[in-house]
């Protein structure tokens, strides 16, 4: 297998976003500097409250939705990227303890020569359907409007982004500065089919899509759909996999295209339920998006995260590794690898998390613990594919 540690960078994307972090390092970090999301004073002026505004989107997953539509003619593939756009925001905000009263605005940028009105309708329908599902579990999001822009000079196919705002009581904030040695790490699986999903979820989420597409999909798509990738990428690295989107993904009952496009699972119903009972017992939560299972390194003080009993890696990520073009070490800091939410708390509380996740048919387990360290935070994890250990 390849030992290349720069696969993602060679595709024009950074998993660690070091340049971004450097650019913003001097900006105000909000009123809780250790919180997973920036929290600001309440715009309404109540000193007992605070607020968060968060922006994110489906990323290059929308490019795959476009390719999948062109191959299958199914506009339904566009619906899921609306969910991706919401979840990438709302699940970040879950990590500071916000679970209700969200206000959302969305932005859809498209190349109108390639992406028609039916696709836009499908995205909007996807928003409405997903928000209705959330409301059934007590997580309410109000749509306040948005913008659809025809920007063919900028958007090669379609870009779907959302911005969410929420107010919350300061006493309810979960601050990762409370993470301490002796805590355990409970991981929640990103794959399978949970209680509020309509089909199998391969666990992709909305990070690492550029790598997933190019490492899994067949070179024929490079010529058929040049609009789906950047001309700055070395052509040798474009669509260098062995699968068509309509091929079955080994170990699953879904196609490769459907697996990669699995709508990003939200943990909102689980966390809303859990926080209603043990909010004060949770020391931190980490949404394992950009940075994968190494993202936790950015939170807490003087801690070493030891992850030595990870959730099994699902077929989708195993297939990406089997492409031979990316090392396991890089995969763990690019993808969620089957575990997209980590809850850090005293060992005595772990069973509460696991039992609540099980109620929603989501696998959860203690995947590790927190130790004290000197200097910068560290992460040690033991891989479950080949049994290797990596230190970050």
Rounded mean pLDDT of the chain? 94
Q: What is the C-alpha to C-alpha distance for residues 148 and 162, in angstroms, rounded to an integer?
A: 12
Residue 239: what pLDDT?
A: 98
Answer whether 360's CB lies under 8 Å from 270's CB: yes
**Coil, strand, or helix at residue 154?**
coil
pLDDT (mean) for 305-332: 97
Residues paired with residue 106 on neighbouring β-strands, in sequence order: 146, 162
pLDDT tens for each residue of 191-218:
999 999 999 999 999 999 999 999 999 9
User: Where does residue 375 rank: exposed (0-12), middle (13-18), buried (19+ CB within 10 A)?
Assistant: exposed
Tokens linked to 177: 């500065």
Answer whether 131's CB lies under 8 Å from 86's CB: yes
pLDDT (mean) for 225-252: 96
Residues paired with residue 163 on neighbouring β-strands, in sequence order: 55, 105
Q: What is the C-alpha to C-alpha distance for residues 163 and 179, in angstroms, rounded to an integer?
A: 28
Residue 84 CA from chain centroid, whole number = 8
**Coil, strand, or helix at residue 142?**
strand
pLDDT (mean) for 9-38: 71
Q: Does the model's pTM come out above 0.85?
A: yes
Domains and CATH numbers, the chain: 7-391 (3.90.650.10)
């Amino acid at each position: 297998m390849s030992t290349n540690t720069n696969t993602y960078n060679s595709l024009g994307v950074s998993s660690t976003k070091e340049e971004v972090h450097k650019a913003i390092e001097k900006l105000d970090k909000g009123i809780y500097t250790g919180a997973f999301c920036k929290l600001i004073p309440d715009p309404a002026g109540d000193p007992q409250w605070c607020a968060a505004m968060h922006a994110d989107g489906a990323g290059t997953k929308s490019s795959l939705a476009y390719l999948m539509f062109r191959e299958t003619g199914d506009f339904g593939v566009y619906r899921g990227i609306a969910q991706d756009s919401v979840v990438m925001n709302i699940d970040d905000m879950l990590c500071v303890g916000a679970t209700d009263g969200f206000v959302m605005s969305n932005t859809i940028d498209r190349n109108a020569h390639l992406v028609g009105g039916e696709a836009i309708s499908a995205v909007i329908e996807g928003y409405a359907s997903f928000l209705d599902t959330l409301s059934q579990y007590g997580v309410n999001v109000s749509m306040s409007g948005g913008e659809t822009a025809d920007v063919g000079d900028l958007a090669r196919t379609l870009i779907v982004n959302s911005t969410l705002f929420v107010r919350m009581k300061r006493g309810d904030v979960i601050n990762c500065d409370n993470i301490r040695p002796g805590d355990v790490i409970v991981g929640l699986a990103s794959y399978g089919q949970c209680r509020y999903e309509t089909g199998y979820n391969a666990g992709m989420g909305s990070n690492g899509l550029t790598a997933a597409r190019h490492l899994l999909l067949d070179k024929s798509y490079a010529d058929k759909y040049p609009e789906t990738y950047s001309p700055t990428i070395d052509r040798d690295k474009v669509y260098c996999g062995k699968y068509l989107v309509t091929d079955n993904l080994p170990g699953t009952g879904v196609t490769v295209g459907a697996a990669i496009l699995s709508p990003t699972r939200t943990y909102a119903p689980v966390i809303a339920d859990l926080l209603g009972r043990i909010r004060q017992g949770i020391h931190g939560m980490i949404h394992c998006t950009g940075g994968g299972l190494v993202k936790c390194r950015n939170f807490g003080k003087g801690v070493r995260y030891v992850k030595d009993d990870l959730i099994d890696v699902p077929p989708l990520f195993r297939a990406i590794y089997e492409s031979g073009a990316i090392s396991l070490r890089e995969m763990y800091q690019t993808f969620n690898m089957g575990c997209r939410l980590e809850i850090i708390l005293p060992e005595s509380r772990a069973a509460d998390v696991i039992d609540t996740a099980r109620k929603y048919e989501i696998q959860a387990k203690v995947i590790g613990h927190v130790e004290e360290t000197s200097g910068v935070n560290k992460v040690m994890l033991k891989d479950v594919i080949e049994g290797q250990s990596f230190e970050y």
